A and B are shown apart, each in its own frame.
Chain A
Amino acid sequence: MTQVRVLVGTRKGAFVLTSDGKREHWNVSGPHFAGWEVYHLKGSPVDPNRLYASQSSGWFGQQIQRSNDGGTTWAPMGNEFAYQGVPGTHQWYDGTQHPWKFARVWHLEPSLTDPDTVYAGVEDAALFRSVDGGQNWEELSGLRGHTSGPSWQPGAGGMCLHTIVLDPSNPERIFIAISAAGAFRTEDAGKTWRPINQGLRSEGIPDPNAEVGHCVHRIAMHPSRPDVLFMQKHWDVMRSDDAGDSWHEVSGNLPTDFGFPIDIHAHEPETIYVVPIKSDSEHYPPDGQLRVYRSRTGGNEWEALTKGLPQSNCYVNVLRDAMAVDSLDSCGVYFGTTGGQVYASPDAGDTWAPIVRDLPAVLSVEVQTLQ
């Protein structure tokens, strides 16, 4: 029987929400890792019962947890994220050079082909890989060793590598994004990297068209079209049709083009979703109305999706990793808010209902479609 499993990371633990294919009635388990921040958890595409979770705390640092039974039980894995060689320095808020220092894992991306291989995007920005199910972690240091590395600067949330997109058609190609350095691509499985930020324009940096320094919030790819990328930048929704070599803006008629998440319909690669947020200092929806915007044209033309979402006095945010889609015939769309709600739409965004209303602030949402 078809099942949907929603993995929710929050400021105070992880929750696993499950339902059948109708997605009307939900079972909620958790909190797992109660009291700890769970920035992200995600399942292996090749073994859906294999889950990885990033558990962290300002007091006690980083843990990586792994489940082999779909989130019922968990075991701690390795938590040593050591930068390769001499860590070096990057630019700090005051313009001085600052040593690279590990803070936490923002994002875990399991391999598309091997359940024991998983990538971790960390703060201070670097990419790590484990090939033994999370026990040991090795930095893919070519990224941080890029000549632009010493010029990278943290965004307001820290200098985090928050997005990892694996190309299903080419195991050597990976896209990543860093706040606030920008997007990068490797064609040799992580040995060498190049910035892919041409076409991005950021008014808040000295050279608005600089090669690096852009605050990319999120990148999404449809697996059927790995050369087409969509990006929610700090401001601007962008599109690339050449694997990031060039970008053009597709914000179109959005009420504001600031936001964090962006995602793509499971079966319609030109149908994309964003959640417009009023501004970078006012992290809530315009007019207190929580609206997901959907474009069925790959950008530029957007429609507001409001049915079932609060349309007054709503001042929550939706963070970059907190939106996901399932792959049922009628594509489900899910997102979580900093107010602790997780909303689900079983009909591609036409209607919404909360699965839960009162979790801790939601940091991430991932969905597994289980056949």
Chain B
Amino acid sequence: MIRVVLPAHLRTLARVTGPVELQVEGPVTLGSVLDALETHYPVLRGTMRDHVTRQRRPFVRFFACEEDISHEPQDTPLPDAVTRGAEPFLVVGAMAGG
């Protein structure tokens, strides 16, 4: 089970109050976790990645095991600790503006 921590505004949209738990089929990669998130919470489509290009939105960041993996390709495998659910996968609203 993958644990995902969403930023406050996306928790509000998804109507969840804490970390969400996801079952990811196949290899656990940056892209497959985002796919699973969007499948379970369709309201999040377009909020983290562009609908058309699937590119990360500029002010959204992805962290795992204290590493910023925002610039990694979406087929990048996530660390074992995230795959095992020991560490969360973090979706972060970048600190920018107000």
Contacts and interface: CB of A to CB of B under 8 A. Distances in A.
Interface of A: 35-36, 57-63, 76, 79-82
Interface in B63-98: 93-94, 96-97
Contacts of A81: 51
B16 interface: no
B57 interface: yes
21 contacts: A35-B9, A36-B9, A58-B97, A59-B57, A59-B60, A59-B93, A59-B94, A60-B57, A60-B60, A60-B93, A61-B46, A61-B57, A62-B46, A63-B13, A63-B47, A76-B13, A76-B43, A79-B45, A79-B51, A80-B45, A82-B51
Nearest to B57: A61
Given A58-B97, A59-B57, A59-B93, A79 B46 contact: yes
Contact of B47 (A35, A60, A82): A60
Most buried by A among B13, B96, B97: B13
A63 B45 CA distance: 10
A80 B53 CA distance: 12
Contacts of A63: 13, 43, 47
A57 B13 CA distance: 12
A79 B41 CA distance: 13
Contacts of B97: 58
B10 interface: yes
Q: Which 5 A-B pairs have the closest CB atoms?
A: A60-B47, A59-B59, A59-B93, A80-B51, A76-B43
B92 to A, nearest CB: 10
B16 to A, nearest CB: 14
A12 B7 CA distance: 17
B28 interface: no
Contacts of A76: 13, 43
B22 to A, nearest CB: 19
Contacts of A60: 9-10, 13, 47-48, 57, 60, 93
A63 B12 CA distance: 12
A59 B43 contact: no
Contacts of B60: 59-60
Contacts of A61: 46-47, 50, 57
B84 to A, nearest CB: 29
Most B CB contacts (10 A, CB to CB) among A36, A58, A63 go to: A58
Given A80-B45, A80-B46, A80-B51, A59 B13 contact: no
A196 to B, nearest CB: 31
A82 B52 contact: yes
A286 B46 CA distance: 42
Contacts of A58: 59, 96-97
Interface in B1-50: 7, 9-10, 13, 43, 45-48, 50
